[in-house]
Chain A
């Protein structure tokens, strides 16, 4: 023991912050341990009393129910495990499309709200205030019951969409392309065209950097992607057929069927989340000081490039964290599908499967784990992007 320690006045362990800190943590751990033990033993006890075998044995049992939207093969003789994947894919489908459209709509409205055009700015403002102040569940019910259920019920009265589609209360029916012999060549041509377009873009960018010469990039890229497959198709004699939906006895038959439940859920999620994203975008643009815009203007940059090259890259730093939250909210809110009967993970798995098997603990835990995983992956990707746009300070 050295001199400094020996001269230190003695402190009662009761008042030593270190000792206290350790004591609190031990107490907290003990409490959590007791609660977890209690919950598990309680569950086991109840399961034995209800004579329910725990475990995932049900996974390979036949489900015996139908699902009206399946991205992978499924029928009522498929297993519960298969039903889980169907539900998960349906959730991912609506979440992914929702995120893409909500981002586009949200950015457009957020920027419009700051527009100097009085009418545009006011309309964007009214949109945000109305949409974000009405509960999402109500909005979903509105789209489903008030809009889509108001569509014609009689087959003969279905709206006919130019090009061979139908829209009625049972959904949206679109022609389904069927690729015949020779369309493989067109597909190859399309891929070659895309590759050529990418190479062209890289070269044109390099040429611009070296010589300052510009080219109509968009037009040429479009031509490279569109023309080769069309030529290939023409050479093969247009081997693409469409299965056109046609009014059958009870419903429209054939073609691609898009459920009204899916449309209602997608509309609701996109429109609702876009209002929040618009506010996030507006806050982000506000956070970039006026001086940045003035500096860009004073260098002769027009409004568009100023926004694109100077303001938005800086606003992204402020936008990304709350934008991530909105993406997570949209994904989690998609579970409200249950209210309008869209077959998402919650509706199929914690709904039908849980009711039929009674495996509440397994089903609910697994579903929670799925949402947790989706959310953590989304956060991770957004954080990676956030790190890339972070500012370098001293």
Chain B
């Protein structure tokens, strides 16, 4: 199997457990953002994390690729523990894709260059192969015609789809989404959710911080509800929406499901 075709499907995990968080705690100064987080995500599982703002959802997924450091507890990603080892952290980041609320595309590079930057510099792919892979994923997110444009020339929805394609070009094992649709105009939300849906159908392991309850109901295996840095409850979508266990969850659901 040549390199290009191996990049066109999700990379297999080495272990059954994609992400494991054991007793994770984090503080910003005096502020206790994450309190005793225990979470086990199996390979191929799709988790949606929701909760009120400031509840620590973004911090939680940002700990998984070490954009934030946790102070206590253990985090294992595909069997590798996140320690203060720069090489290990880079290794994990290579295999964990991330999509941000603000897209964070590189504005000085074309769409195609955005997509090929990391494959060329990190995976050491030849440019031609990296471009072939990039065009494949642009096709997948349905904007192959925008390859030569700059991010500033695209709509928000198109930019976010480029961001998804950019993460996929690294052939990740796990994808993290940090409120991917929160900065979008309503009519652009669907095109991004469609791209994520398709990814879910391919069997990608996904952790998604989102308030899109329709998406959660349709795609998630489990919904995790967080408040004040703690996981309040985690359940299948059916159980979560039909019979929430905690008062806090009920209140939250009543506020977002009008």
Q: Is the CB of B104 within 8 A of A291?
A: yes
Tell me the chain B residues, 136-161 only, with Cβ under 8 Å from chain A: 150, 152-153
Residues of B contacting A300 in the complex (Cβ-Cβ under 8 angstroms) = 90-91, 93-94, 118, 122, 170
Residues of A contacting B152 in the complex (Cβ-Cβ under 8 angstroms) = 391-394
Q: Is the CB of A298 within 8 A of B98?
A: yes
Tell me the chain B residues, 68-107 only, with Cβ under 8 Å from chain A: 86, 90-91, 93-94, 96-98, 100, 102, 104-107
With contacts A300-B118, A309-B121, A391-B107 taken as known, whether A295 is within 8 angstroms of B126 at the C-beta atoms is: no
Flag whether B125 is at the interface (Cβ < 8 A). yes
With contacts A210-B127, A313-B108, A392-B153 taken as known, whether A298 is within 8 angstroms of B65 at the C-beta atoms is: yes
Cβ-closest chain A residue relative to B95: A300
Shortest Cβ distance from residue A319 to the other chain B in the assembled complex, whole angstroms: 13
Flag whether A214 is at the interface (Cβ < 8 A). yes
Residues of B contacting A389 in the complex (Cβ-Cβ under 8 angstroms) = 108
Tell me the chain A residues, 298-318 only, with Cβ under 8 Å from chain B: 298-302, 305, 309-310, 313-314
Flag whether A21 is at the interface (Cβ < 8 A). no
Residues of A contacting B121 in the complex (Cβ-Cβ under 8 angstroms) = 301, 305, 309
Shortest Cβ distance from residue A203 to the other chain B in the assembled complex, whole angstroms: 14
Cβ-closest chain A residue relative to B93: A300
Q: Is the CB of B153 within 8 A of A393?
A: yes
A389 to B150, CA, bound (A): 13
A299 to B97, CA, bound (A): 7
Tell me the chain A residues, 201-256 only, with Cβ under 8 Å from chain B: 208-212, 214
Residues of B contacting A209 in the complex (Cβ-Cβ under 8 angstroms) = 126-128
Of the candidates B102, B129, B170, which one forms a contact with A212 in the assembled complex, judged by CB atoms under 8 Å apart? B129
A314 to B114, CA, bound (A): 14
Residues of B contacting A289 in the complex (Cβ-Cβ under 8 angstroms) = 102, 104
A78 to B126, CA, bound (A): 62
Residues of A contacting B106 in the complex (Cβ-Cβ under 8 angstroms) = 292, 295-296, 310, 314
Q: Is the CB of B118 within 8 A of A294?
A: no
Flag whether A179 is at the interface (Cβ < 8 A). no
A302 to B90, CA, bound (A): 7
Residues of B contacting A291 in the complex (Cβ-Cβ under 8 angstroms) = 100, 102, 104
Q: Is the CB of B126 within 8 A of A211?
A: yes
Flag whether B67 is at the interface (Cβ < 8 A). yes
Q: Is the CB of A309 within 8 A of B65?
A: no
Q: Is the CB of B108 within 8 A of A299?
A: no
Tell me the chain A residues, 249-295 only, with Cβ under 8 Å from chain B: 289, 291-292, 294-295
A208 to B124, CA, bound (A): 9
Prevailing SS type, chain B contact patch: mixed
A210 to B126, CA, bound (A): 5
Of the candidates B100, B125, B150, which one forms a contact with A295 in the assembled complex, judged by CB atoms under 8 Å apart? B100
Residues of B contacting A295 in the complex (Cβ-Cβ under 8 angstroms) = 98, 100, 104-106
Flag whether B166 is at the interface (Cβ < 8 A). yes
Residues of A contacting B98 in the complex (Cβ-Cβ under 8 angstroms) = 295, 298
Q: Is the CB of A299 within 8 A of B100?
A: no
Of the candidates B96, B105, B108, B153, which one forms a contact with A298 in the assembled complex, judged by CB atoms under 8 Å apart? B96
Flag whether B167 is at the interface (Cβ < 8 A). yes
Q: Is the CB of B153 within 8 A of A208?
A: no
Flag whether B117 is at the interface (Cβ < 8 A). yes
Q: Is the CB of A299 within 8 A of B102?
A: no
A327 to B122, CA, bound (A): 36
Residues of A contacting B105 in the complex (Cβ-Cβ under 8 angstroms) = 295
Which of B86, B121, B125 has the most C-beta atoms of chain A within 10 angstroms of its own C-beta? B121
Flag whether A385 is at the interface (Cβ < 8 A). no
Task: List the interface of chain B (C-beta within 8 A of A).
Answer: 65, 67, 86, 90-91, 93-94, 96-98, 100, 102, 104-108, 117-118, 121-122, 124-129, 150, 152-153, 166-167, 170, 176
Beyond the given A292-B106, A296-B118, A299-B118, could you list 13 further A-B residue pairs with CB under 8 A, ordered by the A residue number?
A: A208-B127, A210-B128, A292-B104, A295-B100, A297-B65, A298-B97, A298-B98, A299-B93, A314-B106, A391-B150, A391-B152, A392-B153, A393-B150
Task: List the interface of chain A (C-beta within 8 A of B).
Answer: 208-212, 214, 289, 291-292, 294-302, 305, 309-310, 313-314, 389, 391-394
Could you list 25 A-B pairs, sorted by A, with CB under 8 Å? A208-B126, A208-B127, A209-B126, A209-B127, A210-B126, A210-B127, A212-B126, A289-B104, A294-B67, A294-B104, A296-B106, A297-B93, A298-B67, A298-B176, A299-B93, A299-B97, A300-B90, A300-B118, A301-B117, A301-B121, A301-B122, A313-B108, A389-B108, A392-B153, A394-B153
